[in-house]
Amino acid sequence: MAKVVFKVGDDVSTDIIYPGRFMATVLPTETPQYAFVDYPEFNAKIKKNEFPKGSIIVAGKNFGCGSSREQAASCLKGPDFVVVARNFSRIFMQNAINLGLKMVICPTIEANEGDELEITAEQVVNQTSGKSFPLIPMPKARQAIIDAGGLIPFTRKLLLEAKGKG
Amino acid sequence: MGMTMVEKILAGASGQSAVKAGDVVEPKVDLAMSHENGALVINQFNEIYKDTGLEAKVWDPSRIAIIFDHRVPAESSKTAGNQKKIRDFVARQGITKFHDIRGDGGGICHQILPEFGYVRPGKVVVGTDSHTTSHGALGAFSFGIGATEMAAVWALGKVLNVEVPGTIKVVCEGKFKRHVAPKDLILHLVGKLSAEGANFKVIEFHGPAIESMSTSGRLVICNMTVEAGATSGIVPPDSETLRYLKEEAGVTEVPGLFGPDADAVYDQVITINVSKLQPQIACPHTVDNVKPIKAVLGVRINQIVIGSCTNGRLDDLAIAAKILKGRKVAKGTRMLIFPASTRIYLQALKKGYVATFMEAGAVVMNSGCGPCLGVHQGALADGDVALATTNRNFKGRMGNPNAEVYLCSPAVAAASAITGVITDPRKKGE
């Protein structure tokens, strides 16, 4: 079980998650300082490491739309957030899978900041409101990458297997 | 069962006779493009090879393109450092399609790729930029990916686990009226579909209004398909594609062309009559908040921007120059113009457009992406309102979350520069 620490609406773009003006910063170890930087209160708490790992961001539909910038996923992976959204934009979703950021697609989710959510394989249970919401599994095509912990270990494994065969 | 354009391309690229939407394939990549975010790709690429005992060599240096465009010339020592790191990598790996900061052969990646003939019909193109959708204009399947995904492409030469996208067919009937442009068509379509209406799908364009459209216009509509969430836009290649490749991109060999099958299966078919279109405006703060111009006439504008990978091409500058000739940019309004490539800049110079712009009071900047995404020049003040021919108006997009951005065609931008308020170019008597 984990707490909802931040709630946003529909169509939250990568310009909101990680504004373009910080794009020269690329290292995943450095990007979290600019996560949601235009929401100073939330950003300040991220910088102070106030959130336990697995804390939840709840979003509406089309989370992560816009730019392909990977910083938008790496800045949320750093503090190990879980993003529960009604759905995700394609490139953001792939970046998140590739970096091992946890996402939950939950088309009907209703939750507020402070609510406690329990996430199972089939549903999200809002322990605070007592309601549960079914979730949609991640695209099956990407399951092997998720299982490997991200695209870097997955690709490394492929290269080493090819070398073994060679 | 027939195949769509993208199904055909993905079948070919993954060595299968047929694929359909929902299948999972691993297509070979014909061209892999990055810009300054290549610095992050390099990090991730090296990370893949760490402790493997394998040599970190890219799969094919002739198929990688790197174009500096986001922050040119470098605005900070940090960017300069990233660019230097990429230069070193390019030299070490023998990457040939490299466009450094130069007055000859520089520009925005989504103009450089077609301009230099790097994109061919029927090929698979990936880029670490969401507007990589642009290159569907030449009949390629071209889509944006993240930096880690690109690192895997550099290592393997293919994209892993691609789900074949479904396709939305958009049929464009009719003929554009004076001062109504491809930009108005794509803004209208994004408004109709919504910002997520084409998520995980491809938009395939058909109809007489597409057949008679220049490659420059097709680049505009494919560029902004991502604003409806699309994986890509695509135009079946035709005689115009061949003309562009030969005359403008200097490609000597003639590529084989194919379109979708007549019995291809589409998720949705949308018909738009462009004869009925008015100039369209995307209002703050989402690209799908689209209104016909009459709904926003008279909105005061502090900064007009013409340029970007969307609308910084020669025909865009030509229409702006025609409207601005002998006129002045309104007092209290700034106008920035940045051509999409240095080649276009030089052509605009020779045609006298640059002189027209400067005499009108506009600032003509070097080719690059900077102002569009607020990373390099042209930032807005709190409360500022911008009107731009760029592609996004998200909160904070032009460098300030307390400013507003409206999106429009070059004709609307130029007409509005003269008055300082959103103005219908059809009423200017041009």
Partners of A16 on chain B (C-beta within 8 Å) are 394-396
Q: What is the pLDDT of residues B352-362, one digit of tens each?
A: 999 999 999 99
Pairs across A and B, CB distance < 8 A: 150
Within B190-275, strands assigned E span 201-206, 232-234, 268-273
Question: What is the chain B residue with the closest CA to A163?
Answer: B54
Kindly tell me if the per-residue pLDDT of B386 is higher than 50: yes
Q: Which residues pair with B387 in a beta bridge?
A: B304, B406
Sign, CA torsion B147/B150/B156/B158: positive
Kindly tell me if the per-residue pLDDT of B430 is higher than 60: no
Overall average pLDDT of the B168-178 stretch: 98
Overall average pLDDT of the B23-44 stretch: 97
Kindly tell me if the per-residue pLDDT of A165 is higher than 80: no
Partners of B391 on chain A (C-beta within 8 Å) are none
> Could you say which DSSP state residue B264 is in?
B
The answer to whether A37 touches A87, Cβ cutoff 8 Å, is: no
Q: Which of B49, B149, B401 sits opposite A38 (nearest CB)?
A: B401
pLDDT at res. B161? 87
Q: What is the pLDDT of residues B311-369, one digit of tens each?
A: 999 999 999 999 999 999 999 999 999 999 999 999 999 999 999 999 999 999 999 99
Q: Using CA atoms, how far apart are residues B420 and B398, in angstroms rounded to an integer? A: 19
Task: Domain B5-273: give its CATH code.
Answer: 3.30.499.10
Q: Where does the pLDDT of residue B427 fall: very low under 50, low under 70, confident under 90, or very high at 90 and above? A: confident
Question: What is the chain B residue with the closest CA to A144?
Answer: B161
CB contact under 8 A, B161 and A141: yes
pLDDT at res. B145? 97
CB contact under 8 A, B195 and A155: no
CB contact under 8 A, B148 and A90: no
Mutation choice for B interface testing from A70, A76, A163 by most B CBs within 10 A: A70
According to CATH, where is 3.30.499.10 located in chain B? 5-273, 280-424
Q: Where does the pLDDT of residue B428 fall: very low under 50, low under 70, confident under 90, or very high at 90 and above? A: low
The domains of chain A are located at 2-140
CATH ID of B280-424, from 3.30.1300.10, 3.30.499.10, 3.40.50.1400, 3.40.50.300: 3.30.499.10
Q: Using CA atoms, how far apart are residues A80 and A100, in angstroms rounded to an integer? A: 9
Partners of A72 on chain B (C-beta within 8 Å) are none
> Could you say which DSSP state residue B339 is in?
-
Q: Which of B47, B128, B374 sits opposite A21 (nearest CB)?
A: B374
Q: Where does the pLDDT of residue A163 fall: very low under 50, low under 70, confident under 90, or very high at 90 and above? A: confident
CATH superfamily label, A2-140: Aconitase, domain 4 (3.20.19.10)
CB contact under 8 A, A91 and B396: no
Partners of A30 on chain B (C-beta within 8 Å) are none
- Record the pTM: 0.96
pLDDT at res. B70? 96
Q: Using CA atoms, how far apart are residues B421 and B418, in angstroms rounded to an integer? A: 8
CB contact under 8 A, B161 and A70: no
Question: What is the chain A residue with the closest CA to B151?
Answer: A152
Q: What is the pLDDT of residues B56-95, one digit of tens each?
A: 999 999 999 999 999 999 999 999 999 999 999 999 999 9
Q: Which of A62, A91, A99 sits opposite B195 (nearest CB)?
A: A62
Question: What is the chain A residue with the closest CA to B40?
Answer: A26
From the list B28, B38, B24, B26, the residue with the least C-alpha distance to B67 is: B38
Three-state SS for A102?
Answer: strand
CB contact under 8 A, A26 and B79: no
Q: Which residues pair with A103 in a beta bridge?
A: A83
- The region of weakest confidence among A141-150, B55-64, B177-186 is A141-150
Overall average pLDDT of the A73-92 stretch: 97
CB contact under 8 A, B48 and A156: yes
Mutation choice for A interface testing from B79, B196, B393 by most A CBs within 10 A: B196
Question: What is the chain B residue with the closest CA to A69?
Answer: B146
Tell me the nearest-neighbour CA distance from A91 into chain B, angstroms: 6
CB contact under 8 A, B286 and A11: yes
Query: Which percentage of chain B shows pLDDT scores above 70?
Result: 99
> Could you say which DSSP state residue B139 is in?
T
Mutation choice for A interface testing from B14, B35, B36, B40 by most A CBs within 10 A: B40
Tell me the nearest-neighbour CA distance from B419 into chain A, angstroms: 30
Overall average pLDDT of the A35-53 stretch: 96
ipTM: 0.95
CB contact under 8 A, B130 and A156: no
Partners of B374 on chain A (C-beta within 8 Å) are 19-21
The answer to whether B25 touches B164, Cβ cutoff 8 Å, is: yes
Q: CA angle B154-B120-B215, nearest 5°? A: 125
pLDDT at res. A164? 82
CB contact under 8 A, B199 and A62: yes
The answer to whether A7 touches A111, Cβ cutoff 8 Å, is: yes
The answer to whether A127 touches A118, Cβ cutoff 8 Å, is: yes
Q: Which residues pair with A116 in a beta bridge?
A: A3
Q: Is the CB of A154 inside 8 Å of chain B's CB atoms?
A: yes
Partners of A42 on chain B (C-beta within 8 Å) are none
Query: Which percentage of chain B shows pLDDT scores above 90?
Result: 98
Three-state SS for B111?
Answer: helix
Kindly tell me if the per-residue pLDDT of A141 is higher than 90: no
Tell me the nearest-neighbour CA distance from B307 into chain A, angstroms: 18
Tell me the nearest-neighbour CA distance from A155 into chain B, angstroms: 6
